[in-house]
Amino acid sequence: MKKKIIASLLCLTMVFSMTACGGKNSDSDVDYIKDKGTLVVGITDFEPMDYKDDSGEWVGFDADMAKMVAESLGVDVEFVEIDWDNKIMELKSKNIDVVWNGMTLTDEVKNSMECTNAYCSNGQVIVTTDESKLDDPSKLTFAVEAGSAGEAVAKEEGYNANSVASQADALMEVASGTSDAAIIDLLMASAMIGEGTSYPDLIHSDELTSEEYGVGCRKGSDLAAYINEQLTKAYKDGKTQEIAEKYGIADAVLEQK
């Protein structure tokens, strides 16, 4: 009788353990995302990486790549606009599963997130209305996205800068004359200013920095390794280059091995 009771208790313990873990590794972000059925992607409005088309759908190089990874996981994708300055907190709190938005692989990012391999090259540039203003940037008032690489450049150079919610807002500040200039990503500047764009009268400087983009996951997450596998597969299949050409950034894409 005693042996039967012990055996029953062991069985119950196993059942409760499996229920608590969902029968899978509770430490796996990949399993967590598959179980809930949605990959939640933290983004900002950042053409050509993540932005809304005329129908209101999120598109762009990063958006399309994230959709591809979600499909490989067998889950839906949800794009959530975040305060870029709070991206690390958003990940830790599980409000989002990944930051996939032209994110520069800074030391802070790499120390706070589990990051993928670099997939795209970029640089920071000054955007303004008049080339002569570039002669002495120290006299300008800049708009920069809070928590961005552009903000880091402004601080390092000692420029007079005001933080705004997004790089798109920084551009609007310059176009409206509220700020003399902005420091934003080269890929965004190339897509959004100049002839044939919404900001035909704006110009940008040469690159101030050289940097690379990566995807950020929770620290210790197995999702980063999974995304690396998918990025490598997509590069070898030519899918990455196809998407990059669609958004005019083919020259910036980095080889995935």
Q: What is the pTM of this model?
A: 0.86
CB 98 within 8 A of CB 215: yes
Alpha helices in the chain (DSSP H): 2-21, 29-36, 61-73, 87-92, 107-112, 149-157, 167-176, 186-192, 223-237, 239-246
Give me the CATH code for the 124-204 domain, please. Answer: 3.40.190.10
**Per-residue pLDDT reduced to its tens digit, 209-242:** 999 999 999 999 999 999 999 999 999 999 999 9
The rounded distance, in Å, linking the Cα atoms of 152 and 145 is 10
Q: Which of 211, 251, 219, 240 is nearest to 102 (CA)?
A: 211
**Per-residue pLDDT reduced to its tens digit, 3-30:** 544 455 444 444 444 444 444 557 899 9
Q: What is the pLDDT of residue 27?
A: 87
Domain ranges of the chain: 24-118+214-252, 124-204
Q: What is the pLDDT of residue 25?
A: 57
Percent of the chain with pLDDT over 70: 90
Give me the CATH code for the 24-118+214-252 domain, please. Answer: 3.40.190.10
Q: What is the pLDDT of residue 148?
A: 95
**What stretches in the chain show pLDDT beneath 50?**
4-6, 9-23
